[in-house]
Amino acid sequence: MERYRSKMQEFVAKLWHNPNIQQLPLGRKENHILGFIQENRDNLQQAFKTEGFFPEISWDDAVRLLLTVLTDSILDMARPLIDELLERVNHPELRDHFASEGGLNVDTIALRDYILDKMRNKRMRDQYISVLASLEAGFYRRYLPPVISYRKLIYIELVRRDHLGMSADVVADYVALAALFRPLGSLPIDTASQSGDVLMRHQPNSRSYKEIYNQIRDQVNTAANHVPDSLLETGLHSSLSVLDHPDIPGSSRLINIFSTRAQEYVANQKLDRGAETPDKSWFNINRRTARLSGMDVRFLEELYLIAGEEGW
């Protein structure tokens, strides 16, 4: 089957570069391709039997190869995004911030490979894609400088409550780093009472939550050497509703907002005359529905104002 890999890579590349889906977010592009395969199963089965495709392997094997190649393509896109962020973990301000927790001694290559390995699972990949899309869109380094300079509510939450007294870009990198751990709240973990349990089904501080959290922490630290608890918890708590958990860090609230925004983000989106800019429009809509989504309406309102002033 390996001898057909290059041919399958060509086939997947054509699907991926279909002009009709180029404006879709990464996760929706993958799902569109999967939907195309399902909807055109009969035609593709016949085509794959021809000499120009995969005549010597079964349909099931061809689909398995297609899914592997598609996943590999997505991981190849994810790798530089993760590397670019992890290159910044050695900033002196970040290291000083974590001094009381034993420092930030992360094996960046091992952590990247751990994340990519988790992304081979479709369920986990769906969780990671929105986080990576938020990095690719540059939300953290775009919004944190005005947040810090305006010194309003989000600033108070980040600097005074979360104690992130660093320069704006370093605060942005801290929040972005924490976002890498957000998807692990959906990581299946085997416990004494249940196989495949996930952290987000349990209340923080419950015995079951702590049991699953400890396993996640052990996994991450085994893979990456040492990730401080505060960084890991900030990412994990970003999946919680602020209405049900009003004490979660401001950093977690931002991760939730930007990861959710990234699910619908379209780069270089064209505007109709008189229309609101994309970010401003999104924050405007979501501040009205915050009670349903669990996002912090106060954060959304401040980001709405920033997006309006900056033309985003």
Three-class SS state of 270: coil
Contact criterion met (CB below 8 Å) for 256 and 288:
no
Contact criterion met (CB below 8 Å) for 209 and 203:
yes
How high is the mean pLDDT of the chain? Answer: 95
> Distance (Å, rounded) from C-alpha 55 to C-alpha 58?
8
Instruction: Look at residue 1 and tell me whether its pLDDT is greater than 70.
Output: no
How does residue 270 score in pLDDT terms, banded at 50, 70 and 90?
confident
Closest CA to 258 of 241, 283, 278: 283
Structure token pair of residue 110: 């091992």
- Give the model confidence (pLDDT) of 21-37 as tens digits: 988 888 889 999 999 99
Averaged over 176-205, what is the pLDDT? 94
Contact criterion met (CB below 8 Å) for 168 and 145:
yes
Q: Where are the domains of the chain?
A: 1-86, 91-310
Task: Give the predicted TM-score (pTM) of the model.
Answer: 0.93
Instruction: Look at residue 257 and tell me whether its pLDDT is greater than 80.
Output: yes
